[in-house]
Structure 1
């Protein structure tokens, strides 16, 4: 095996988008968006002969005091065809090689979020020790709900919780309509997002972040879905389509007309459109960990999402490989405060 830099979109997306449950954070388009935000991007391919078997899109993040680290969101991605023993070899070899590159440019640490589920690597504990991997505070959600949408619409509806199915039909009867918006509709999303974060007491990105995404990502990659009732937008979702998976990225809703259940119909229309795109998977992008209880901050949204199906996926999580250990200790101490 050897590691090479990837310089063209066809090579990178040809691999990443062809993997089941394609990871949009590893796509060429997402890397370009981060570049235009000011982050240097490094793209690496893991090769076995002339066949690519792994990809890592890495973001270079600057810190105060001229320090920096490398971060591969939901990456590296590995070929789903690799056998267990080859996957473990590939995982260790690829991470070690990227770590060497990070060390060469003076990075404080390498942070990765492999697109692998817990249990995919039999010898992960051994690899963890050899590479000096440290589990870190999550950046992307380690637990999510990914729905197999290959069955028919009737079958998908039949697998939903009875109350979810009822609320979809209720929204249709009440006259809720769904459309895909454009950049001119972003102020409506921002207003709903502010209302949602205030009501539910959680943090969100600033409007400038979402404006940047719409300026830099293709129209068929990032979409804004809007639910309207009696002439008003009462719910809005940001959705990403890449490879064979549609991802529900962010959502917001109004306190007005909550009894018409617009968010339920919004999700269902997004799933229907994903099927029309021939996607096989729909990612609800983050749920509370299993057995976390009703006190978890995501308990409510998890119940809502699980109404559509219950296929939990637990990734390996956010993993750090410290390269400058004293500085890394200082950084993590400050980050915990």
Structure 2
């Protein structure tokens, strides 16, 4: 097949998404509305009969003071990544984006490379000789991932190195934690939780923690906890208007695309989180909690309610999103990895993000700009 590429409408894009088992929420038309600093466009690939066979959301961001763009397809595009002629998919995309004024293209193929079971992750954390998850023998390898990486390199794509993940070209996590739901009852999933999780869920229930779904008007309360979390965990928080825009854009596309969960105890809001739903994939997106009353375990209660609701929605995967690759005790994110691994499931490594310089001089200038920041 020799697919052709052209811009597509929102309706065409969403119809294609509905036909696929998995498409990232960052590859939906609504995600472009969440990112007002980027110009967004939906692209479609078509076969010889004119049927849409692939789609992607490309975000275009201008280089400061130059009318040229960085083109970014986060966790996409949604194409046949393992087909025999990958070049025929990517070549027209690069040609189109070059005509659009892009000087560099960044994409994140939604292709899994390796998986580690929760037990393997737990053992690696306890092993003083293990320093990075990527150096630990995985539970399984995904067929075709290494071949895909080799093909991209031969085509001139360059894998984004660790450390290039911040600032202007902020990337998506290469390592995530997921709990498979397909073919499992809720009781099966609960049995997959470790003992600490099960104890904490019971403790929260006994203490009277109540988890409810919130709405747009509850976003300020969520954000107050989120800002507290950012200060405690040392990251830069997104502003409240970002979450308002996210809620408005995603729920306009589908009324149940984004949910907000709130965990209360005796009138106090102790934890809150956002959840995103696209077909059979459910993501725990943003989380927030206070240091107060940790003994009543609101986070476990809230996550279990979210997992139960995701199962009721027919989810095939509950995705906890990013985890650290570092297993050092000094890493402040190790506790979050322990928490996510306690839910059972597996750590998952994707093939990572890849860059293609269309203008090497401007691409190099971007590298220098990022290094200085």
Asked if Structure 1 and Structure 2 have the same fold, meaning a TM-score greater than 0.5 normalized by the shorter chain, the answer is: yes
Q: CA deviation at 1:4?
A: 2.7
In structure 1, distance between residues paired with 2:342 and 2:22: 21
In structure 1, distance between residues paired with 2:38 and 2:286: 22
Query: CA 1:317–1:126 in 2, change beyond 3 Å: closer, same or farther?
Result: closer
8 Å contact kept, 1:195–1:253: yes
Match of 1:261 in 2: 297
Match of 2:219 in 1: 186
8 Å contact kept, 2:186–2:308: yes
Q: CA deviation at 1:271?
A: 0.8
Q: Alignment partner of 1:284: what SS?
A: strand
Q: CA deviation at 1:209?
A: 1.2
In structure 1, distance between residues paired with 2:298 and 2:19: 33
- State the Cα deviation string for residues 180-224 of structure 1 (Å, max 9, x = none): 111111111111011111112122212221122123221411111
In structure 2, distance between residues paired with 1:17 and 1:183: 26
Match of 2:280 in 1: 244
Match of 2:76 in 1: 75
Query: CA 1:321–1:174 in 2, change beyond 3 Å: closer, same or farther?
Result: same
Query: CA 1:43–1:253 in 2, change beyond 3 Å: closer, same or farther?
Result: same
Match of 1:123 in 2: 147
Match of 2:25 in 1: 24
- State the Cα deviation string for residues 14-70 of structure 1 (Å, max 9, x = none): 333443343111112223444xx2532222222333443322110111220223111
Query: CA 1:6–1:107 in 2, change beyond 3 Å: closer, same or farther?
Result: closer
In structure 2, distance between residues paired with 1:54 and 1:65: 34
Match of 1:149 in 2: 181
Q: CA deviation at 1:101?
A: 1.1
- State the Cα deviation string for residues 166-186 of structure 1 (Å, max 9, x = none): 111111111101111111111
* Aligned-residue RMSD, C-alpha: 2.0
Relative to structure 2, which stretch is displaced further, 3-12 or 262-271? 3-12
Q: CA deviation at 1:297?
A: 4.4
Q: CA deviation at 1:255?
A: 1.1
Match of 2:371 in 1: 336
Match of 1:56 in 2: 56
Question: May I ask how many residue pairs the two structures share in their alignment?
Answer: 328
8 Å contact kept, 1:141–1:286: yes
Relative to structure 2, which stretch is displaced further, 56-65 or 19-28? 19-28
In structure 1, distance between residues paired with 2:281 and 2:37: 27
Query: CA 1:6–1:198 in 2, change beyond 3 Å: closer, same or farther?
Result: same
TM-score (norm 1): 0.91
**Are positions 1:318 and 2:350 aligned together?**
no
8 Å contact kept, 1:6–1:12: no
Gapped runs of 5+ residues in structure 2?
114-141, 166-170
**Are positions 1:109 and 2:133 aligned together?**
no
TM-score (norm 2): 0.82
In structure 1, distance between residues paired with 2:290 and 2:267: 13
Relative to structure 2, which stretch is displaced further, 13-22 or 321-330? 13-22
Match of 1:275 in 2: 311
8 Å contact kept, 1:221–1:241: yes
Gapped runs of 5+ residues in structure 1?
none
- State the Cα deviation string for residues 211-268 of structure 1 (Å, max 9, x = none): 2212322141111110001101110001111111110011000111111110111111
Query: CA 1:297–1:63 in 2, change beyond 3 Å: closer, same or farther?
Result: farther
